[in-house]
Every structure is written in structure tokens, then in C-alpha cells.
């Protein structure tokens, strides 16, 4: 099934207790597109970069089968830039810089060939732009999944609430769920957020796994305990890419299949954190993925 991915394609500078990078390629949609490409060969990207963005990475996306016809390159402008520093627990971070640059006035043009997509993944991006993408699709996709972050809650809450009301699945982290709902209990937060529109909510808890809420149903997927977590940047996006990629591959949006999709998303995210940036998820083999999935199975399997 075809998947449309929208989100930031960017430069990041990351500092973790294990090291520091200069500007490297990042952005929500970069991670989502790469991760989902392991499941479906019909990934279409809508994003914007400046003329400072490396062609090599765009070619890399193409090698993964990602269609970049909808990736706008703005001459004389700079790509979105984000920098962050992780605390020693690697589960929390401070944003040091957010330079919107080309994202500041991004007009998401949807190529005709992208219309009629079955699945839409709205990666982290200006909520108004996410909304415009939904409005510009001539046919509503079978499933719309949206990711966002606290940054947008602070500067664009009204737009964000409007966009959230239009989607089927929202993915956010635990702190963001609390901020959005005003509730400390994640169960209460999930109930309030579902009232805002999305019938499914995924709350990401970093190394503590992820929760899927749907009405009164709750499913929990752990994160794989890893010997080394090098850089968590993009883990949430890689998770989302694996999640929607698996749904697009299986074309089954039942709650039960979403449980499977969460395990695939978690497996993809577990690779992402093993190296800086997108380094680890650009060249995964099918065998590596299979082994990781079976590690997940063994992690949570028990007979009572």
C-alpha cells in the first residue's frame, strides 16, 4: 500500500554523554522514510530543504525506494536546524537550538502521483502544515498517523489541537501527553486526548517502551534493553516509521495488528539508538531485523 510521509528533513547537532556531532542529517521525515522503507516500497516524501542539504542523502533515500519528487529544494535558503543535548540518563534532553529556516514558510505541495495514498504519516512539523497536507489530499487516506512535540504545544497550541482533531492515531511522549492533557496519570491523559479526536494514542516512554491506547484497551510494548544506547535522536520517528510501514505492508488497521506494528516500530527504534543520527538505519539487513523481532518475542513471552 502507498504511504505518504511528511515532516522535517534537517540538520541536527547532537551531544550525548558519549560524544558530540557537528551538523549531521536528521529530521523526523528522514527517519520515518528510512524506517518505513524496510516494510513497503511505496514511500512518497513531502518535505523541504535548503540548497545546503547534501544530495548524497537524497540519493540514499532513493536507493531505499523513497520517492523524493515532493521534496522541495529552496535555492539560497537554509535547511531546518535543530540541536539537542541529552542528560546522563539518555531518556531526557534539552533542545538547544531550533532554527526553522525553510520550514518557516513551507508550502507542502503534493505531487499528483502522490494522490490517493492509502496511509499518511504526519511527522513532526508545523501543525498548520500538517493540516494543509490533509486538506490537499483529494481522498482521505485509510489511516492518518501524526507525531508532534512540546515545541508546537508552546507556540501553536490552537493549530495543534485542530490538526489533532483530524487524525486517527497520535504518537507523543509521556511528558507531551501530560502537557497536552493537563493530566499526570497517563491513563487519564490518554482518555482526554482521545476525546480530542484520535481514536488511537501511542505514548512513547523512551527506554521504558510504548503504550497503545484505544478506548478502554491498553497494550504495552517494552523497549529492548540494549548494552549501549549511543544516541536516542530520531528513535520516536524511527518507531513511527516502523509502525506505519508495517501497517501499510499488511494493510490491516485493526487494534490487534497495531500491536504487531508497535513491536516492529520498537525493533526499528532499537537499531536507531545504537549509532549517531541515521547511521544505523541506513543499512539494515532483513536478517538483523528478523533476529531483533525474535528477541522481542522472547523478552515478553511467559507461560502462566
Pairing state of beta strands 143-147 and 119-122? Answer: parallel
Q: What sign does the dihedral 92-37-103-112 (CA atoms) show? A: negative
What x-and-dash track marks residues 153-192 binding ligand AMP by CB under 6 A? Answer: ----------------------------------------
Q: Interface with ligand AMP includes 266 (CB under 6 A)?
A: no
* Closer Cβ to ligand AMP, 42 or 234, answer by number: 234
For residue 17, what is its C-alpha cell?
Answer: 554523554
Q: Interface with ligand AMP includes 235 (CB under 6 A)?
A: yes
Q: Interface with ligand AMP includes 10 (CB under 6 A)?
A: yes
37-66: contacts with ligand AMP (CB under 6 A): none
Q: Measured in whole angstroms, how far is the alpha carbon of residue 174 from the centre of its chain?
A: 15
Contact by Cβ (8 Å): 241, 224:
no
CA angle 10/263/71 to nearest 5° reads: 25
For residue 91, what is its C-alpha cell?
Answer: 531518556
| Bridge partners, 81 (sequence order) | 11, 99
Shortest distance (Å) from residue 191 CB to ligand AMP: 24
For residue 70, what is its C-alpha cell?
Answer: 515532493
Q: Interface with ligand AMP includes 101 (CB under 6 A)?
A: no
Of 58-66, 230-238, 252-260, 286-294, the window that binds ligand AMP (rule: CB under 6 A) is 230-238
Residues 6+ apart with CB under 8 A from 279: none
Q: Interface with ligand AMP includes 28 (CB under 6 A)?
A: yes
Q: Measured in whole angstroms, how far is the alpha carbon of residue 271 from the centre of its chain?
A: 14
Shortest distance (Å) from residue 85 CB to ligand AMP: 13
Q: Interface with ligand AMP includes 82 (CB under 6 A)?
A: yes
Shortest distance (Å) from residue 251 CB to ligand AMP: 25
* Closer Cβ to ligand AMP, 248 or 273, answer by number: 273
Q: Interface with ligand AMP includes 146 (CB under 6 A)?
A: no
For residue 260, what is its C-alpha cell?
Answer: 504487531
Q: Interface with ligand AMP includes 223 (CB under 6 A)?
A: no
Q: How far apart are CA 31 and CA 239, in angstroms?
A: 9
* Closer Cβ to ligand AMP, 16 or 42, answer by number: 16
Shortest distance (Å) from residue 232 CB to ligand AMP: 6
From the list 268, 286, 288, the residue with the least C-alpha distance to 278 is 268
Residues that bind ligand AMP (CB under 6 A): 8, 10, 12, 26-28, 82, 98, 124-125, 149, 151, 233-237
Amino acid at each position: 500500500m502507498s504511504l505518504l510521509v511528511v515532516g522535517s528533513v534537517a540538520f541536527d547537532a547532537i551531544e550525548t554523554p558519549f560524544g558530540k556531532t557537528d551538523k549531521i542529517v536528521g529530521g523526523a521525515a528522514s527517519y520515518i522514510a528510512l524506517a518505513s522503507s524496510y516494510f513497503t516500497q511505496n514511500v512518497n516524501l513531502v518535505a523541504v530543504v535548503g540548497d545546503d542539504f547534501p544530495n548524497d542523502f537524497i540519493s540514499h533515500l532513493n536507493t531505499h525506494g523513497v520517492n523524493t519528487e515532493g521534496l522541495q529544494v529552496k535555492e539560497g535558503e537554509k535547511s531546518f536546524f535543530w540541536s539537542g543535548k541529552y542528560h546522563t540518563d539518555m531518556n531526557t534532553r534539552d533542545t538547544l537550538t531550533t532554527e526553522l529556516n525553510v520550514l518557516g514558510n513551507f508550502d507542502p505541495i503534493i505531487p499528483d502521483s502522490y494522490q490517493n495514498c492509502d496511509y499518511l504519516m504526519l511527522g513532526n512539523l508545523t501543525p498548520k502544515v500538517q493540516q494543509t497536507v490533509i486538506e490537499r489530499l483529494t481522498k482521505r487516506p485509510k489511516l492518518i498517523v501524526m507525531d508532534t512535540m512540546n515545541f508546537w504545544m508552546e507556540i501553536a497550541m490552537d493549530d495543534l489541537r485542530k490538526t489533532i482533531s483530524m487524525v486517527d492515531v497520535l504518537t507523543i511522549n509521556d511528558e507531551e501527553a501530560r502537557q497536552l492533557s493537563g493530566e499526570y496519570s497517563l491513563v487519564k491523559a490518554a482518555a482526554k486526548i482521545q476525546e480530542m479526536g484520535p481514536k488511537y494514542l501511542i505514548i512513547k516512554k523512551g527506554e521504558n517502551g510504548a503504550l497503545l491506547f484505544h478506548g478502554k484497551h491498553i497494550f504495552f510494548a517494552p523497549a529492548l534493553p540494549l548494552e549501549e544506547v549511543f544516541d536516542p535522536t530520531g528513535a520516536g520517528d524511527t518507531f513511527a516509521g516502523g509502525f506505519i510501514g508495517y501497517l501499510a505492508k499488511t494493510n490491516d488497521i485493526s487494534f490487534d495488528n497495531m500491536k504487531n506494528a508497535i513491536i516492529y516500530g520498537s525493533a526499528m527504534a532499537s537499531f536507531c539508538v545504537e549509532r549517531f543520527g541515521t547511521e544505523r538505519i541506513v543499512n539494515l539487513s532483513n536478517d538483523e531485523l528478523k533476529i531483533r523481532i525474535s528477541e522481542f518475542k522472547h523478552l515478553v513471552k511467559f507461560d502462566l
